């Protein structure tokens, strides 16, 4: 299931108070999608971490009352009982939790009550876990716990979904264009015991955040030597997403900074040079999508008509994601009609 599909699935489950389990590799966006879905339906969100929890967190704390004892709810459990508005209780990294903690949570998931306390009918239970092959400390989930969820879905990467997210969240244009050029590097997660990171949506976004925070302004535009080991910026990006990603991205960024004058292309769409190198084309389309507006979209589409169809689709999708008003222009409608076989 790609991110946009998971987003709609989570919304459906929240509206109908259905418990859902999401699995996927680390950093692929499980938690962020749940947060976005909660915000879209105006549901509250409580994030619980069973891996550091105790069974009493879900069962309540034994408390003496005369000659007997009852379980006194506190913390998150108290919230679940007293919720007056739509609330999602998100069990993050459930697969890493101890068996005793999973068993305590199981009573909440299906019975929606525990030790005499009833969970509010405003609450939706959603959980997430990494997979066993991810080497993230997942030992598994008890069979009775798994069957308490209405469905178990796996989140997979999708470049188009990530690009739409990146455009809305002001990620650097050259980074977006690079992911278009090298889509396999969006999620090249490799479990290892070594102290290194792999590319995944979370770590790629971390690189974008550092760039937007002034990484290159602080340390300069540093090249990468033949041994891929020169420059402080290279070391920082390598630490975020790995050496291979850092080397390729910095090489792409140099190419991006040496592009033909984008304004000249927009002003002279019929005569401006069209590069043949795919990396340069991805970079140009990324820059043009950022520059697209109602007043120049006709010229931009005139230029990209001279490029292979797949690049035209990338540009149009990214430009309209940034500015939905472009879909109301005569230029867009003309292009969409003539390319209806490739643009859906």
Distance CA 259, CA 323 (A): 23
pLDDT attached to residue 224: 46
| Neighbour tally for 20: CB within 10 Å | 22
Is residue 343 situated within a structural domain? no
Q: How far is CA 95 from the centre of its chain?
A: 20
In this structure, are 72 and 213 located in the same domain? Answer: no
For the chain, the domain total comes to 3
End position of a domain, from candidates 208, 231, 257:
257
Domain that holds residue 272: 262-338
**220 in helix, strand or coil?**
coil
- Closest to 121 in 3D by CA, of 92, 78, 82: 82
pLDDT attached to residue 260: 85
In this structure, are 235 and 251 located in the same domain? Answer: yes
Is residue 56 situated within a structural domain? yes
In this structure, are 121 and 238 located in the same domain? Answer: no
Is residue 344 situated within a structural domain? no
End position of a domain, from candidates 257, 288, 313:
257
Instruction: Encode the chain (344 residues) as per-residue pLDDT tens digits.
Output: 999 999 999 999 999 999 999 999 989 999 999 999 999 999 999 898 888 776 666 655 555 666 654 555 555 677 777 889 999 999 998 888 888 888 777 777 776 766 667 888 899 999 999 887 877 778 788 888 888 899 999 999 999 999 999 998 999 999 999 999 999 999 988 877 788 889 999 999 999 999 999 999 888 876 544 444 448 899 999 999 999 999 999 999 988 888 889 999 999 999 999 988 899 999 999 999 999 999 999 999 999 999 999 999 999 999 999 999 999 999 999 999 988 877 76
- Closest to 181 in 3D by CA, of 265, 239, 245: 245
In this structure, are 303 and 332 located in the same domain? Answer: yes
In this structure, are 175 and 201 located in the same domain? Answer: yes
pLDDT attached to residue 137: 77
- Contact, 42 vs 86, CB < 8 A? yes
pLDDT attached to residue 218: 87
Distance CA 335, CA 140 (A): 51
Burial 145-173 (b: 16+ CB within 10 A, else e): beebbbeebebebbbbbbbbbbbeeebbb
End position of a domain, from candidates 257, 280, 300:
257
pLDDT attached to residue 324: 92
- Closest to 300 in 3D by CA, of 287, 344, 252, 282: 287
DSSP string, 83-109: --S-EEEEETTGGGS-HHHHHHHHHHH
């Amino acid at each position: 299931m790609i991110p946009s599909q998971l987003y709609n699935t989570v919304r459906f489950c929240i509206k109908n108070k259905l418990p859902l389990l999401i699995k996927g590799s680390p950093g692929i966006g499980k938690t962020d999608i749940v947060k976005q879905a909660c915000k879209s339906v105006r549901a509250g969100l409580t994030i619980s971490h069973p891996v550091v929890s105790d069974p009493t967190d879900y069962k309540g704390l034994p408390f003496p009352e005369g000659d007997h004892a009852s379980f006194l709810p506190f913390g998150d459990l108290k919230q679940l009982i007293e919720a007056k508005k739509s609330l999602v209780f998100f069990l993050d990294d459930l697969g890493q939790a101890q068996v005793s903690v999973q068993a305590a949570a199981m009573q909440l998931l299906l019975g929606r009550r525990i030790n005499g306390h009833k969970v509010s009918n405003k609450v939706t239970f959603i959980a997430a876990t990494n997979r066993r092959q991810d080497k993230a400390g997942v030992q598994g989930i008890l069979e009775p716990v798994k069957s308490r969820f209405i469905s178990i879905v796996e989140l997979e990467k999708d470049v188009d979904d990530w690009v739409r997210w990146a455009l809305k969240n002001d990620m650097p244009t050259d980074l977006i264009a690079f992911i278009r050029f090298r889509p396999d590097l969006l999620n090249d997660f490799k479990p290892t015991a070594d102290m290194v990171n792999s590319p995944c949506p979370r770590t790629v976004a971390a690189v974008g955040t550092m760039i937007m925070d002034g990484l290159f302004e602080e340390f300069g535009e540093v090249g990468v030597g033949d041994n891929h080991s020169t420059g402080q910026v290279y070391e920082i990006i390598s630490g975020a997403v790995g050496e291979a990603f850092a080397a390729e991205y910095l090489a792409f960024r140099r190419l991006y900074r040496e592009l033909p004058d984008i304004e000249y292309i927009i002003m002279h769409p019929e005569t401006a040079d069209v590069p043949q190198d795919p990396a340069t084309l991805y970079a140009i389309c990324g820059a043009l999508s950022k520059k697209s507006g109602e007043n120049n979209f006709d010229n931009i589409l005139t230029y990209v008509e001279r490029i292979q169809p797949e690049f035209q689709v990338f540009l149009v999708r990214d430009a309209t994601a940034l500015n939905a008003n472009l879909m109301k222009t005569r230029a867009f409608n003309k292009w969409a009609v003539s390319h209806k076989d490739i643009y859906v």
